[in-house]
Chain A
């Protein structure tokens, strides 16, 4: 009888961001996490006034329909996610400064705040993403229920995240920069039984 279970967290320093590599069960890949760099990110809050005018202006600026619920909408490299009533997150791999773009286009209709450095973006792919996230989230992430385009601003292992399903097999989440190491520890620990791979910044 072995003295102790091998656990990937045993060798992972608790105060460092996990390095790229394979964790957990060898030879299988249940979940792959890839850090996505280079996105320009901003929060958008509707000011007092005309919601329809805001929607119209956003349509004009980004070519996207402002989601009125916890949904993600995409067009090209731009994404808009509803995070709360009257609040959205805008992400772009196209604009160098999405906050600036929006500020110029929306004027007094919305308050725009640059958050490009506030969050770390992770893409999660693989057959076991939902099972892994279920170990820390308290919402229904069953792939039959949480369909592509759905989004949630919620907690994962007591860490605030915004999560959405981009495609059938790709989930994306944003986590505050200071929590990146802790969140990766949760992912390493929870996906280890399925085989977990952390990719270099992409």
Chain B
């Protein structure tokens, strides 16, 4: 065990059991999986992506490139989880990944022998030829060999959520700067959200042994956190990563509500995606340590110096028992002293610099630590690190250590500052990129802005928090900045030990070496964007946290350009991976989209209806009866019943728009291609409206109920679009028109009653005095009255089926009662409820256009409405409909089709070809839009768009359907298959 006897921010009284690769271990509350593994001396945690090299834990945070594991089992298995941020819980199961058969013995490590062929650009070079091999041979091999974890093979059983919240000041990061910023804004009374990805606020204060106001820094952090938690206007969100900066002060954040528990508590989500709207924000995201690249730097035991310090101080874990430090900066020296103070042997500090502040050297020497200036690590040894080779003062020496703590300095976490496209700026003084042009209303504080010393972070945080609150009108007493000792942050940039042995990894997660960068340079892929894509540097799930800056610095040294000239690649959201479950939230499965139910839904359900989604609506598709074995049988029965007697269908889903005012007639004339201002009160008219571009938008009937009162119906699909179109016309195009509109789609349930006995049935549900005779309610009549004993109703004499038809509208609450009353009234006639399949069959038999023909690509003329278009008035789309391409006589035009051999089935989507013509695009003459089996005719019928169709009635063409192997002869006919004279309608 490598657990230190004392110290750390863990709860030693609470022991947690967990497994890794099936073996049982123990840890404590407050551990991460990584710290618990190290405490149990597990140092080999994974195999690398490409070469399957053994890898250990490198970091103690979100930047971890190596320690990716599968957490949990079964449906909850989550691959590629960073052990360094996975909070330990009792019963946690973790597995290493990308190894076979075991972590210790991975046979695919033979890939290392192939490394000469697997270098930069190997995909492009090796797997180029033959092209046919790519999908069947190369890709499966690569996928098996180079990979990450396995997905769960069952649906995630846990719920996820999304939520919005608002605040005055969002503080991102709860380290010293963030705590001070939140304190300043919170004490001023602003609504503050303080978000931190860790489960413990404090940031680096928990990882170092600094003092603030004479007390341990972690204690100060705990005290400030407690004060913030006590303020009603401050919301402390730990385990929450702000991952993206979006427009107008919107931030995306992921809260891991239950990732630290075996299963979420009852009714709690696993994760919650937050949309945070902040008037101001302070980014205090800290900094990430970067390594120095040298041969053998991927050996388990080589870690970041700050991470070693974190494990020692925060988790009371000794990652090793004999440590060497390899660095280019002062901070790493303080780390060495802290490691030593915890009782761990520090064999040496190797610094690349020729001179280091005398005080640091003295302190190290006083503690008995060897210091080697102008030194380099040139090689490492052991499967797990046993020794390092060091060159210093011209002498080479092998130093037996089990841990090498490396620090190449710190890079401010500028990621979020770049989400609006701003590029970071190079600051030579700290050898790091600092925020450049940042998103509006976002300030950066502390280490994220390059203010690396603790005192500077506290001061800067307080100032930025106060400024943000003050800008919003909160009077801000600047909080006293607590006293801390000043520390040195000197650094000399150093990236790569060129004269070192063994592969020197820049990007550990994607196995990109310094040599790969040299290859990219030699082959001309020198811009950072090319470098990234050619070598895959920084393209792994860690997005190159610990490798990007080093990689581009190495490229800069090859090209001779400076680092700022070389530049960075673009930082895009999300900052760390976000699960798709969280992005979906409540909207998964049947809740993907809100379902709309018709007023008769329960009634139809009770009658055994089969439902189908039509847009958001759920509509009755057909009503099977016992003994019926397939849908066509039910549909044929329904159609026959309507044509023979009477049937009913809920058509409430049509859009209904109430129009009032003296100018409605004028508006309608401008909306529809035909004239409406002449419509008499009590009458309805069918109309077609175009889009501005001259193509058909929608069709439907509009009825005039009073002198200044009309009601328009739209298709189900276009209900919202047509309403929006009317709003646009009235608000933008013609605000002078005195017309008020209101959607009444939801107010009225509407039931269509069709068939020769429709009137007999209707007469039995209307109240006394309502005349539904052919005189009282003639074809295309629209009257108001009452039904069912006093229920307000609108009665329309309309027909989609081609039969005598009525539509009865009642307030929606009465919809089901109306359906039931019609069923009772029609019992003697064998009334049959029908679904939208039968409706579709009947409209095809009648030759009416519907959604398939109103495709957004058809003109009024294409659909046979050419003569309906008025030439005496202007209307939307008229001019554009006259474009040459839209009036070309060769355009496919609406006609009907029947199979020459009546036993043949027609297929919608089949294309028309002249008989004998080759099946080529040039010979294409149009396509079949709708088909149905007509029980009336006893064979399949179709509607479609055919070049010069109406002129070719009686001709035969080929209906060619390569998708389903159909190729039959069809005869062109007029689109109306039954009652072309319309006698039934008017009966």
Contact = CB atoms under 8 A, between A and B. Distances in A.
B664 to A, nearest CB: 10
A118 B163 contact: no
A180 B744 CA distance: 16
B267 A6 contact: yes
Which of B602, B660, B742 has most A Cβ within 10 Å? B742
Interface in B724-742: 738, 740-742
Contacts of A17: 597
B744 A1 contact: no
Contacts of A4: 75, 157-158
A43 B742 CA distance: 8
A91 B569 CA distance: 57
B521 interface: no
Contacts of A59: none
Interface of A: 1-9, 14-17, 24-25, 43, 45-48, 110-111, 113-119, 134-140, 142, 144-145, 157-159, 176-183, 185-186, 189-190, 192-193
Contacts, number: 143
A192 B267 contact: yes
B596 interface: yes
B578 to A, nearest CB: 17
Contact of A178 (B164, B587, B598): B598
15 contacts: A3-B74, A3-B157, A7-B267, A15-B601, A113-B742, A114-B811, A119-B746, A135-B161, A135-B162, A136-B586, A138-B275, A142-B165, A142-B166, A157-B587, A176-B596
A25 B267 contact: yes
A6 to B, nearest CB: 6
A82 B161 CA distance: 31
B81 to A, nearest CB: 17
Q: Size range of the interface on B?
A: 35 or more
Contacts of A178: 596-598, 617, 746
Given A177-B746, A182-B594, A182-B595, A1 B268 contact: no
Given A3-B157, A6-B267, A134 B597 contact: no
Given A110-B740, A135-B585, A176-B596, 15 more contacts: A3-B157, A6-B267, A9-B591, A15-B601, A15-B618, A16-B602, A17-B597, A47-B740, A111-B660, A113-B660, A136-B586, A157-B586, A177-B599, A178-B596, A192-B267
B812 A177 contact: yes
Interface string B614-658: 000110000000000000000000000000000000000000001
A134 B75 CA distance: 29
B884 interface: no
Contact of B158 (A5, A46, A47, A116): A5
Nearest to A7: B159
Contact of A1 (B263, B275, B745, B812): B263
B267 A24 contact: yes
Contacts of A177: 599, 746, 812
A110 B74 CA distance: 62
Contacts of A111: 660-661, 740, 742
A117 B746 contact: yes
Contacts of A190: 161, 586
A129 B738 CA distance: 41
B309 interface: no
Interface string B598-617: 11011001000001000001
Contacts of B159: 5, 7, 189
A179 B162 contact: no
Contact of B744 (A5, A45, A118): A118
B746 A118 contact: yes
Contacts of B601: 15
A169 B859 CA distance: 55
B263 A5 contact: yes
Which of B75, B191, B595, B605 has most A Cβ within 10 Å? B595
B593 A158 contact: yes
A196 B52 CA distance: 51
A9 B596 CA distance: 17
B591 A114 contact: no
A158 B262 CA distance: 32
A145 B586 contact: no
B889 interface: no
Give 4 nearest A-B pairs by CB, closest first. Answer: A111-B740, A4-B157, A182-B594, A118-B746
A186 B588 CA distance: 12
Nearest to B617: A178
A9 B588 CA distance: 11
B744 A6 contact: no
Which of A6, A16, A190 has most B Cβ within 10 Å? A190
A4 B32 CA distance: 25
Interface string B128-171: 00000000000000000000000000000111011111100000
Nearest to A189: B586
Contact of B267 (A8, A45, A158): A8
Interface string B193-220: 0000000000000000000000000000
A2 B91 CA distance: 12
Contacts of A24: 266-267
Given A134-B164, A135-B161, A157 B742 contact: no
B618 A145 contact: no
B926 to A, nearest CB: 37
Interface in B883-928: none
B532 interface: no
Nearest to B250: A138
A7 B813 CA distance: 31
